Amino acid sequence: MLKKLFVFSIGPVFSALIGIVSTPLTSWLVAPSEFALASMFSLFVSLSNASISLGMEHAFAREYNLASDKLRLFNNIVLLPYIGSIILSLLLMLNYHYITSALFGYPSLLLTILLIICIVLSVINCFFSNLLRMQERARSYSSRIIIYKLIHFVSLILILLFFKRSGESIIIASVIAEIANSTLLLSANPSFAKLTLENIDLKLIKKCLKYGLPMVPTFLLTWAFNSMDKVMLRSFASYRELGVYAASFKFVSALTILQTAFSSYWLPTSYRWHEEGVSPSKYGKVSNAISVLLFFLAGIVVILRFFISWLLSPDYSEASRISIFLIFPPILTTISYTTISGIDFKRKTYLHIIIAGVSAGTNFILNWFLIPSYGALGAAAATSISATVLFWMRTLISRRLWWPFPLKLYIVNIMLLYVMVLVASTQVGLVFELLVLFFIIGYNAKEIKALFRVIIKVFGQRVKSEK
């Protein structure tokens, strides 16, 4: 189990390292306002992808272990999203003047074409990436991410250095990388690239839509939750504040990458365990282990935040203070993957709409009050509190539907992490921050020892097998 998680993590971790290098380089080459333009582009692509996918990627994950014919299932899953991407592309071309003016402040046919390419490719990449995950092909999954990120990094730096230093250049580099990503994913599963109409089953599509469609409003509300800070910063603050905020997010990308890595491993594993009738207590052990690891890493990120100020351009000096609040979304979202399973196992996906709605509403209210007074820092604080609301709603509802797993570990660690972040934000001193970190380590000592025992056991077995 740990070996597969490790291999799944290689690609995302490498991606995080690339991000740590590329973010400061980009900050020296591009103004915050241009950084913000690229951020709005990415936001629109993500929103479009979620809308036209109809939640079918979630239905694919749920049905994968039950389906005897995987190709037939895949053909039925992708049909409607493929059609949706074509329709949206036509609408964008017909209304490009209005859409690009609303998004970027000026009409641009170039940005429209880049949007269309990215949206179509993102739909393809979404389903083929999910296919690799469900096949549990960890090595292929990680190697694809490594090549994709290298191409993106090289393209970005070359374009910024030798062509135009603008948000459009960042977007062009992203499009080049997406094309490479699609090529890699299609080559990994060439037999799934062809859409066979003979495989189409309207009853299966209807069944998948019943499970997946509630995930569309859920994603839109989650998108509102994740994007509210950026959208409201643009409305109530300056493009510069938005650019600094976007750069701050880049520096907690290491934790976000761990979120991606763990979900890539955990999604197929949890569904397979469910079909095999694995005891719920085993899920609890995984949840405790990942929680302790992430809370410890979050504490380290808070301690090392000063490196951000040294690496970034002086224009982004506030990023170190902002970034410590932004560790909560990736940390709590990752942990919630292990606590939310009850909702998905019971197929009550409509509950995700309620959870996402309350969290998005909380985020909106907090941003409304905090951004006008505190700018990017207020947005970061609102995001951290809203992420905590999201975590507890997911966890408590799933717990009621599934099994009564203990909550004490989550309660204590979240409280300690909040104390540490507040101490750091008030700049009381490094000694007090280290003291809180030691409290986190001390409280979780039992779980840490258990985790190390498992790791030593796994690597010990591997050494013996090699001998």
**If you average pLDDT over residues 14-27, what whole number do you get?**
74
Phi, psi of 403 (to 5 degrees): -145, 150
Name 158's Cβ contacts closer than 8 Å, sequence gap at least 6: none
Q: Quick: pLDDT tens for 71-83.
A: 999 999 999 999 9
pLDDT score recorded for residue 336: 95
**If you average pLDDT over residues 294-302, what whole number do you get?**
88
Which range has highest mean pLDDT (123-137, 228-242, 389-403)? Answer: 389-403
Q: What is the pTM of this model?
A: 0.76
d(CA 322, CA 386): 16
Residue 298 corresponds to which amino acid? A
Note whether 58 and 212 are within 8 A (CB): yes
* Higher pLDDT pick, 251 / 212: 212
- The distance from CA 452 to its chain's CA centroid, rounded to whole angstroms, is 27
Residue 93 corresponds to which amino acid? M
d(CA 295, CA 440): 8
- The answer, yes or no, to whether residue 343 has pLDDT greater than 90, is yes
**If you average pLDDT over residues 372-401, what whole number do you get?**
93
Closest CA to 234 of 49, 48, 43, 92: 43
- Reported confidence tier of residue 463, pLDDT bands at 50, 70, 90: very low
Closest CA to 172 of 152, 187, 191: 152
d(CA 159, CA 457): 47
Q: Which residue has the tokens 């009050």?
A: 369
Residue 315 DSSP symbol: G
* Higher pLDDT pick, 256 / 338: 338
Q: Quick: pLDDT tens for 417-459.
A: 999 998 888 877 778 888 888 998 898 888 888 777 766 765 5
d(CA 124, CA 133): 14
Q: Quick: pLDDT tens for 191-249.
A: 898 888 888 999 999 999 999 999 888 878 887 787 788 778 877 877 677 777 877 77
d(CA 23, CA 316): 11
pLDDT score recorded for residue 313: 60
Note whether 292 and 412 are within 8 A (CB): no
Domain boundaries, the chain: 1-213, 215-467
- The answer, yes or no, to whether residue 350 has pLDDT greater than 80, is yes
Note whether 374 and 318 are within 8 A (CB): no
